[in-house]
Amino acid sequence: MTLSIIPIAAHRRLPRLGVWDAVAVALAVGLLAALAAASHGIAAPLPASGAAITLDPWALPGYALRTALRMLVALALSLLFTLIYATAAAKSRRAEIVLVPILDVLQSVPILGFISVTVTFFLSLTPGRTLGAEFAAIFAIFTSQAWNMAFSFYQSLRTIPTELTEASYSLRLGPWMRFWKLEVPFATPALIWNMMMSMSGGWFFVVASEAISVGNTTIALPGVGSYIGLAIEQRNLAAIGYAVLAMLVVILVVDQLLFRPLIAWADRFRFVQETEAAPPDSWVLTTLRRSRLVEWLVTPVGRLWAWSYHAAPKGRERMPLPPQQVVRRRLGAPDLAWRAAVLVGLTWVVWQIVRYVLSGVAPAEVLTPVIAGGLTLVRVMVLIALASLIWVPVGVWLGLRPKAARIAQPIAQFLAAFPANLLFPVAVSAIVALRLDPDIWLSPLMVLGTQWYILFNVIAGASTLPTELRDIGTSLHVRGWLWWRKVALPAVFPFYMTGALTASGGSWNAAIVAEVATWGDKTLRAHGLGAYIADATTAGDFHRIVLGIAVMSLYVLILNRAFWRPLYLFAERKFRLN
pLDDT value of position 283: 84
302, burial (CB in 10 Å: exposed 0-12, middle 13-18, buried 19+): exposed
- The number of CA neighbours under 13 Å toward the Cβ of 268 is 7
**74, pLDDT greater than 90:** yes
Give CA angle at 130 (125, 134), nearest 5°: 80
**128, pLDDT greater than 80:** no
Concatenating the DSSP letter of every residue in 464-531 gives T--HHHHHHHHHTT--HHHHIIIIIHHHHHHHHHHHHHHHHHHHHHHHHHHSEEEETTEEEE-SSHHH
Q: Specify the pairing of strand 211-214 against strand 516-519.
A: unpaired
Q: Taking residues 413-431, what's their average pLDDT?
A: 72
Concatenating the DSSP letter of every residue in 353-419 gives HHHHHHTTS-GGGGHHHHHHHHHHHHHHHHHHHHHHHHHHHHHHHHHT-HHHHHHHHHHHHHHHH--
The amino acid present at 571, given as its one-letter code, is A
Question: How many C-beta atoms surround the C-beta of residue 383 within 10 A?
Answer: 22
**570, pLDDT greater than 70:** yes
* List of residues 6+ apart from 234 with CB closer than 8 A: 55, 520
Per-residue pLDDT band for 504 (boundaries 50, 70, 90) equals: confident
Q: What would the pLDDT profile of 52-65 be if each residue is shown by its tens digit? A: 678 888 889 988 99
Q: Taking residues 489-504, what's their average pLDDT?
A: 86
Q: What would the pLDDT profile of 142-170 be if each residue is shown by its tens digit? A: 988 888 899 889 988 988 888 888 888 88
Question: How many C-beta atoms surround the C-beta of residue 454 within 10 A?
Answer: 28
Q: Is the pTM of this model over 0.95?
A: no
pLDDT value of position 14: 66
Per-residue pLDDT band for 577 (boundaries 50, 70, 90) equals: low
Average pLDDT, the chain: 80
**492, pLDDT greater than 80:** yes
Q: Taking residues 425-441, what's their average pLDDT?
A: 78
Per-residue pLDDT band for 47 (boundaries 50, 70, 90) equals: low
pLDDT value of position 334: 73
pLDDT value of position 153: 93
* List of residues 6+ apart from 343 with CB closer than 8 A: none
**206, pLDDT greater than 80:** no
Interatomic CA distance for residues 468 and 160, integer angstroms = 18
pLDDT value of position 426: 75
Higher pLDDT, 281 or 108: 281
Give CA angle at 508 (506, 511), nearest 5°: 110
**Class of the CATH-defined domain 62-269+336-574:** mainly alpha
Q: Taking residues 362-367, what's their average pLDDT?
A: 84
pLDDT value of position 4: 42
User: 40-51 burial, b for 16+ CB within 10 Å, e for fewer?
Assistant: ebeeeebbeeee
- The candidate with the shortest Cα–Cα distance to 111, out of 549, 542, 503, is 549
**548, pLDDT greater than 90:** no
H runs (alpha helix) in 515-576: 529-539, 542-559, 565-574
**79, pLDDT greater than 90:** yes
Per-residue pLDDT band for 3 (boundaries 50, 70, 90) equals: very low
Q: What would the pLDDT profile of 297-346 be if each residue is shown by its tens digit? A: 888 888 888 787 777 777 665 666 555 554 455 556 777 787 788 788 87
Question: How many C-beta atoms surround the C-beta of residue 8 within 10 A?
Answer: 8
* Domain residue extents for the chain: 62-269+336-574
